């Protein structure tokens, strides 16, 4: 005689609840990441730069399609994306992986993914030496930590900071946002100067320069006449100063300066050993 048996089994209520929760999690996709103003980051909290100031910062740097912009601490990517919309290749460096993915989505939606690149990295370990423009919205203490690295960049590199300065390295220009901006509405511009401190030989004398960032002091000796230089400055690769009754303007290329004086007499100087 055949007998059939039926088996009944049950799970504890906690097990059923766990399965239900797991099924719900699988059924509902994870909500897209949304950044929050003030959220903690590696070195700073996140506060977005107003679009009006982003535009002003890029105007201040006078970016062109020939530039490479690198935004240090790129957040939601708006500075990089704005630069890319102007036809300029731009790279954002951001430590938060969620912000990096958000930036990539934003760039794709804006149609500039080919020009806008985002990398997850520690900005202190990042090589940004090939950039021609550096933008940032960091704390003053971080600006100072980055300053030695910035000063080693190619002369003429433009550096623009939202709000915060670099202590005794005075900016070339400071501007305010134009348009809708309620806080952090100021931008500073620096231009990396060529290194010109030292003794430069001229055909009939020498030029002795002391340099503090872009500011210059020193003397110009021509024959038996030695003159203090005034209003000395080096902006990128362009040097200018007044000696006697003439203003001298020249271009620095390694250990050579060539240019003209206000009297239209050509001059040339080479750095001594």
The CATH architecture annotation of domain 198-271 reads Beta Barrel (2.40)
What per-residue confidence (pLDDT) applies to 260?
75
pLDDT cut 70: percent of the chain above it: 82
Per-residue pLDDT reduced to its tens digit, 64-123: 999 999 999 999 999 999 999 999 999 999 999 999 999 999 999 999 999 999 999 999
- Model confidence band, residue 262 (pLDDT cutoffs 50, 70, 90): low
Phi, psi of 10 (to 5 degrees): -145, 155
Residue 92 near residue 64 (C-beta atoms within 8 A): no
Distances from the Cα of 153 to the Cα of 37, 142, 146, 150, 195, angstroms: 32, 17, 11, 5, 11
CB 151: neighbour CB atoms within 10 A?
A: 17
Q: What was the pLDDT predicted at 42?
A: 59
- 162 CB-near residues (< 8 Å, 6+ apart): 49, 53, 57, 135, 136, 137, 184, 186, 187
Mean pLDDT is lowest, of 14-23, 180-189, 264-273, for 14-23
C-alpha pair distances (Å), 17 with each of 11, 21, 38, 153, 238: 10, 6, 36, 60, 73
Question: How far, in Å, CA of 240 to CA of 251, rounded?
Answer: 9
pLDDT score of 10 more than 60: no
For range 232-243, the mean pLDDT = 97
The confidence band for 162, taking pLDDT boundaries of 50, 70 and 90, is very high
Mean pLDDT, the chain, integer: 88
Label residue 16 by pLDDT band (50, 70, 90): low
Angstrom distance (rounded) from CA 58 to CA 49 = 12
Domain ranges, ordered by start, for the chain: 51-191, 198-271
Token pair for 55 = 């535009």
3-class SS shares of the chain: helix, strand, coil, % to 5: 25, 35, 40
CATH dotted code for 51-191: 3.40.50.150
Task: Convert the pLDDT of each residue in 71-85 to its tens digit.
Answer: 999 999 999 999 999
Fold match between 51-191 and 198-271?
no
Q: What angle do CA 116, 117, 121 make, to 5 degrees?
A: 145
CA distance 155 to 129: 11
């Amino acid at each position: 005689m055949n007998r059939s048996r039926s088996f009944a089994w049950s799970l504890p209520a906690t097990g059923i609840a766990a399965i239900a929760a797991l099924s719900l999690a699988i059924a509902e996709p994870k909500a897209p990441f949304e950044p929050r103003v003030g959220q903690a980051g590696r070195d700073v909290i996140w506060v977005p730069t107003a679009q009006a100031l982003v535009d002003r910062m890029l105007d201040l740097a006078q970016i062109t399609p020939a530039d490479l912009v690198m935004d240090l601490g790129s957040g939601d990517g708006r500075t990089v994306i704005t630069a890319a919309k102007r036809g300029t290749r731009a790279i954002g460096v951001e430590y938060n992986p969620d912000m990096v993915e958000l930036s990539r989505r934003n760039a794709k939606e804006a149609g500039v993914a080919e020009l806008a690149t985002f990398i997850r990295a520690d900005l202190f370990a990042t090589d940004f030496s090939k950039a021609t423009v550096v933008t940032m919205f960091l704390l003053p203490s971080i600006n100072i930590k980055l300053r030695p690295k910035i000063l080693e960049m190619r002369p003429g590199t433009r550096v623009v900071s939202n709000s915060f300065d670099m202590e005794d390295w005075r900016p070339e220009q400071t501007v305010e946002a134009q348009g809708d901006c309620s806080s952090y509405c100021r931008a500073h511009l620096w231009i990396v100067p060529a290194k010109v401190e030292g003794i430069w030989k001229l055909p009939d004398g020498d030029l002795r320069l002391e340099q503090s960032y872009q500011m210059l002091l020193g003397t110009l000796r021509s024959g038996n006449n030695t003159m203090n230089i005034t209003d000395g400055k080096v902006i990128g690769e362009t040097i200018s100063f007044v000696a006697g009754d003439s203003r001298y303007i020249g271009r620095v290329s390694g250990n050579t300066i060539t240019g003209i004086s206000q009297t239209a007499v050509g001059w040339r100087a080479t750095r001594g050993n």
